[in-house]
Structure 1
Amino acid sequence: MERLLPKYFPFFTLLALTGLIFLLWNITSLESWTCQTVSTFYQLQNSIQSVLKTSEMLLPVEFNYSYCIHLGQEPSAEEAKEESYLLRSITWPEPLVLGLPLRQSSDPAQSYYMIQNSGDLLVGGQLVVKVQMQNFIGQPKKHGGDFIVARLHTPELGAGVTGQVHDHRDGKYTVFFPLLWAGVVHVELTMVHSSEAVMVLRRLREEQADRVFFKSLFRSRYLSETTVCNLCLPVKQQPLCNYTDPQTGEPWYCYKPKMLDCDTRINHAKGGYKKHLLTMYESQFFQSGINIKMPIHAAGMDNVIVLPASKEQTKENNLENTPSGYYYQGLWKPLGGVTMRQFNDSSAVTQCLRGKMVYMYGDSTVRQWYEYLVAHVPEFKELNFHSLKNVGPHMAVDSNHNILLRYRCHGPPIRFTTVYAAELHYISNELDALRGGSDTVVLISIWSHFSTFPVHVYIRRLRHIRRAVIRLLNREPATLVLIRTANLQKLDPESSLYNSDWFSQQLDTVLRAMFKGLNVQLVDAWEMTLAHHHPHQLHPPPDIISNMIHFILSHICPVRRKKRQS
């Protein structure tokens, strides 16, 4: 018997480990195990995986286009062609050699920029800035792909505008700024991420689509269970409940409870964030104060004097990609389309919105508009639906001026604390339920909660919303639709892995392309946050929200042009 023990020891060890893993896997479905337990389980999985990874990733990464890519309705040939075009349009330059050591990656502290045309600058022209990225040993970078954002500003005038960054893919960049006001203007350049960090973010987006996970509570009388949910789940691990939306085909799944049916689902909530996503090598590229959102300094002057334009000159700039607007004296000035008006008291707002129904759909950044209006216009009275503050649905009315405000969050994935399953409505379905018309205003914001998923997931969601917008405008062309773009936010090593500005920029580019040419207006939150002096925040401060509200109201109540006298 003693001789047989060594022979079968590996078999018994394997059997014991299998039983332990099976036990851990099954306890995640019990409500008595909290979200922290689920998070711990995911961390255990990731710890095991990270041991199997090498600490120095010197070989090119093979992306694992996850098991969720084929979920949802199959796109038509035309839609597949559009998707291919959109994915190509956001292709990011990558290093010639992957796996470079930290010392050869981009160091914003040693990188620099130089103003090229500092003499005789006039309003209506442009400022050109050359950037040279260097590594940590002071050598010029030989490849592009760094994520750089740019701003030109005059603090004394409350003025600011974004710059257009052109990547030459050799470590050099050119930034173009429109000159829109006279005075001393200062250049501000920021490296959000190095090119090496962007490659890590790209890997996470494709390989770790479930790095934010969700959960749902199931209940029937006195029995309740909680299971993990997501847009896609490995089907081989346990049976799934399929909550695919019948109208849009948008997929959503939860692991089936052990003792309850799928139709006993009560709510939806954020479960947590998977940890230990990076190797030790990768984590070097995400260090606060070193290579996340760090300034690039000037080699020489960081400011120039801009002179007023002469009467013979126009104030139009010749940039290929003209900014949507700029700040002057703290107020947003659009560079095309609507004439900006100021609605500085509540009576002006109520007069503009008289007889209007304003529907707001999406994430918490559109809920900010609802909250701003309710807080600044005493005439609005909120109706109590016993809804959670950050979830809604919310409604406010001004019966004297016949105004209705409504807010509803978008369907999953959404990282709110708890949403009743019955309140999970997709934006496209909500739009299809609207009558529309000249008394209807639709405000949409949907971007932040998609940052952890492959881009094709966002394209699919926007495609459904776009179809619904087109149907709405076809039946009632006078309906006003405004769509909010993404905005920059505060980043640290952890938040960069889930909510990086690079993810937001990629989604923002897709959104602009997909709604281009339609009769919808964009609220350019990206430029309105980048051009402002306030630090970047996921939820922009009141100064910026106020400018957004004035922009929206300027579309609802445009300046009437005087008729020419014959």
Structure 2
Amino acid sequence: MKFGLSDLFISVNRSRQIVFYVPFALLLCAVAGFFVEYKFMLQFKQSSPSVKLEGGNLNTLQRQLDNLLIRYKPFRACRDSVSASDPTRSKIQLKGNHVINLGDTIRLNVILFDGYGKAKSTGGDHLRARLFAYSFDAFAPCTVLDNRNGTYTVTAEALWTGWSKLEVDVLFPKEIIATALRIRTTWDFSDIEVAFHNLNVFGTSMCNPNKVMLEKKSETDIICNFSYWNKTMPWFCAKPHGRNISCKHWVSIGRSWTNYTNTLSKCEQELSGRANATIPTETFIKVLPIHSAHSQVTVDQPNIACADYNKSKLWYRLKPTGYFYNGTWILRHCKGLSTFDGNCLRNKIIYFWGDSTLQQWLIYLKSILTFECKVVMKETRHWRMKKTCYCHQYNITLNWMPHNIPISNFSVENPMDFFSKTFCEEICNERKDSDVILIITLYLHIQMYSPRFFALHMVEIRRCVESIFKNNLNVRVFIKLPHTHNKVKIKDVLIKQPDIIGYIFTDIIRKVFKGLYLKVIVLDNQDATRAVKNVPIHPGQIVVRAMVNQFLSYICHDSKSSSV
């Protein structure tokens, strides 16, 4: 796959230019899309960022990029599933003793073999590892290092005493990762269909962020430009034919994933259908207490409260953020909460802007409050509509706002009115002395598309956040990073979901928000979902509780305990 040097840069102007660096992980996905639709990116000179690539020498950069793309051959469909890494034939070797002391580091060497019994000589597979003990309801994520030669180094910390088991999954061979990247660069919003309705006239059409592509696919140049209200991404829809139908008559949006996996080869189908990804080698570790503290069952906890912790360090933590013990998430870098009665949220206005996984946070938060919060504004019972709850006892306002297009199926009388006011405008309209908290997440509804669209969203979100900081000095902004899961089931269509997409999105977020690390608090939820081996899109209660309590720990002071 060859690209000209001109294809490596997108040069666009805007009134307030934002420059960020695109990581190589993003380029892995984005470049394949750029060479097909490079002109598309240039069309949005008023709403797109200026993008630069890391590296001073263009020739060196091109070689690095080519090498990275070769790792996934680039996005080619596999032909022989037996030649892929096979967890049933792969091996785990413990480096060190089975009996260690509390706080020691555990190391494993993982050697991957294919279905023929031949050792793999290249990396690129996605492994997930964890340390757990069901008897203690204890779970901890491990760190996995790809040595790029078919072997992987797994490290974990002995966080509690007693017997525990180490488990390693070959979650996705690199062939499936390549499949996911290929589909995302070619799917191009083919799932979306919108409906228009006026009087007795109905019509349907397709939409796309790329106006030129939309005109080509819909075979019409009569296009509705909805970019001015979608705010965080350009959005165009073909106008249906009909005398009494106009752009303002758009009433609903639908999505269908029926054909999403139609391009899978036989090899890819076989790999996607694997029932078990766990390497069968059983590795048990016995952790002894420290001699000076025989009664100690877990490692020492940090003394610093999360509210006082240097939040900028959260953006590039190399070690896991925490672990579960007795079903409770314990943070490793700062002291979490032991109790919560809602008093620390007194006089606060909290905005939740995101998808249904963030709404899980709002639902859980309301469930643990010891006082009543009444719904004072609710457009509909559906989660995709705005909702405001007010807690009179402590003067707390909880605002729910779904993120912009793309979003899952919904119908509303006027979608343009619904999306015309984003969190940016809402918060800027608050009184300047208001104590405002904003939680942002964007992941699930855009993860099935090319990451370049996610990057466009995040740049516009940063622009909104910067305008909020200028208008209100008493605002705290949190970003919920993607959590891990490994499948999506939409009706009868089961789509394997490589965690690598979430990691790429996380890398994009880190690059886009560089320079705001002291002002924006990032919440890493991957560790909690990896620890419990989360599978579905919507995590279970144990994970949601851990996520929400981690968030609250940065707002509320508590000196009694480090657990939440």
Shift of 1:100: 4.9
Q: Deviations over 1:346-383 (max 9, x none)?
A: xx12x222211111001111111122233444501123
Q: Give me the whole-angstrom Cα distance separating, in 1, the residues matched to 2:377 and 2:395.
A: 18
Match of 1:138 in 2: 117
Aligned residue identity for 1:167: D
SS in 1 for 2:318: coil
Whether the 8 Å CA contact 1:93–1:169 is kept in 2: the answer is: no
Q: Give me the whole-angstrom Cα distance separating, in 2, the residues matched to 1:468 and 1:267.
A: 27
SS in 1 for 2:163: strand
Whether the 8 Å CA contact 1:451–1:503 is kept in 2: the answer is: yes
Q: Give me the whole-angstrom Cα distance separating, in 2, the residues matched to 1:410 and 1:95.
A: 32
- The count of residues paired between Structure 1 and Structure 2 equals 486
SS in 2 for 1:284: helix
Match of 2:549 in 1: 550
CA change 1:515–1:186 in 2 (3 A) is farther
Match of 2:397 in 1: 404
Aligned residue identity for 2:467: R
Whether the 8 Å CA contact 1:374–1:381 is kept in 2: the answer is: no
Q: Deviations over 1:93-115 (max 9, x none)?
A: 72579645112111111112121
Match of 2:279 in 1: 296
Aligned 1:528-543 pairs, distance under 5 A: 528-532=528-532, 535-543=534-542
2:102 is aligned with 1:123? yes
Aligned 1:30-45 pairs, distance under 5 A: none
Shift of 1:247: 8.8
Aligned 1:166-205 pairs, distance under 5 A: 166-205=145-184
Match of 1:225 in 2: 203
Match of 2:352 in 1: 360
Aligned 1:406-445 pairs, distance under 5 A: 406-419=399-412, 420-421=414-415, 422-424=417-419, 425-435=421-431, 439-445=435-441
SS in 2 for 1:273: coil
Q: Give me the whole-angstrom Cα distance separating, in 1, the residues matched to 2:471 and 2:66.
A: 32
1:238 to 220, 223, 226: 220
Aligned 1:517-532 pairs, distance under 5 A: 517-532=517-532
Shift of 1:384: 5.1
Q: Give me the whole-angstrom Cα distance separating, in 1, the residues matched to 2:237 and 2:546.
A: 41
Aligned 1:354-393 pairs, distance under 5 A: 354-377=346-369, 379-383=372-376, 385-393=378-386
2:445 is aligned with 1:473? no
Give 1 or 2 for the bigger CA radius of gyration.
1
CA change 1:505–1:88 in 2 (3 A) is farther
2:512 is aligned with 1:514? yes
Q: Which moved more, 1:72-81 or 1:394-403?
A: 72-81
SS in 1 for 2:378: coil
Whether the 8 Å CA contact 1:157–1:328 is kept in 2: the answer is: yes
2:238 is aligned with 1:255? yes
2:72 is aligned with 1:72? no
Q: Give me the whole-angstrom Cα distance separating, in 2, the residues matched to 1:367 and 1:157.
A: 30
Aligned residue identity for 1:288: G
CA change 1:326–1:403 in 2 (3 A) is same
Q: Which moved more, 1:381-390 or 1:321-330?
A: 381-390
CA change 1:187–1:178 in 2 (3 A) is same
Aligned 1:488-499 pairs, distance under 5 A: 488-491=484-487, 497=495, 499=497
Q: Deviations over 1:132-165 (max 9, x none)?
A: 1111111111221111111111222222221111
Q: Give me the whole-angstrom Cα distance separating, in 2, the residues matched to 1:327 and 1:515.
A: 29
Aligned residue identity for 2:323: Y
**Structure 2 stretches lacking a partner, 5+ long:** 1-30, 294-298, 303-315
Q: Deviations over 1:374-398 (max 9, x none)?
A: 3444501123534142212111111
Match of 2:286 in 1: 305
2:482 is aligned with 1:482? no
CA change 1:405–1:320 in 2 (3 A) is closer
SS in 1 for 2:197: strand
Q: Give me the whole-angstrom Cα distance separating, in 2, the residues matched to 1:118 and 1:429.
A: 58
**TM-score, normalised relative to structure 2:** 0.77
Aligned 1:321-336 pairs, distance under 5 A: 321-336=318-333
CA change 1:77–1:406 in 2 (3 A) is closer
Q: Give me the whole-angstrom Cα distance separating, in 1, the residues matched to 2:467 and 2:67.
A: 28
Whether the 8 Å CA contact 1:92–1:145 is kept in 2: the answer is: no
Shift of 1:185: 2.2
Q: Give me the whole-angstrom Cα distance separating, in 1, the residues matched to 2:70 and 2:157.
A: 26
SS in 2 for 1:235: helix
Match of 1:503 in 2: 501
Whether the 8 Å CA contact 1:219–1:264 is kept in 2: the answer is: no
Shift of 1:214: 1.9
2:143 is aligned with 1:164? yes
Q: Give me the whole-angstrom Cα distance separating, in 2, the residues matched to 1:478 and 1:493.
A: 41
Shift of 1:432: 4.3
CA change 1:327–1:131 in 2 (3 A) is same
CA change 1:143–1:245 in 2 (3 A) is same
Q: Give me the whole-angstrom Cα distance separating, in 1, the residues matched to 2:362 and 2:269.
A: 41
Shift of 1:268: 3.7
1:284 to 256, 269, 280: 269
SS in 2 for 1:251: coil
Whether the 8 Å CA contact 2:455–2:508 is kept in 1: the answer is: yes
**TM-score, normalised relative to structure 1:** 0.77
Shift of 1:501: 2.6
Whether the 8 Å CA contact 2:196–2:252 is kept in 1: the answer is: no
Whether the 8 Å CA contact 2:434–2:474 is kept in 1: the answer is: yes
Q: Deviations over 1:14-69 (max 9, x none)?
A: xxxxxxxxxxxxxxxxxxxxxxxxxxxxxxxxxxxxxxxxxxxxxxxx94544344
CA RMSD of aligned residues (A): 3.4
Match of 2:251 in 1: 267
Match of 1:215 in 2: 193
**Structure 1 stretches lacking a partner, 5+ long:** 1-61, 562-566
Whether the 8 Å CA contact 1:215–1:254 is kept in 2: the answer is: no
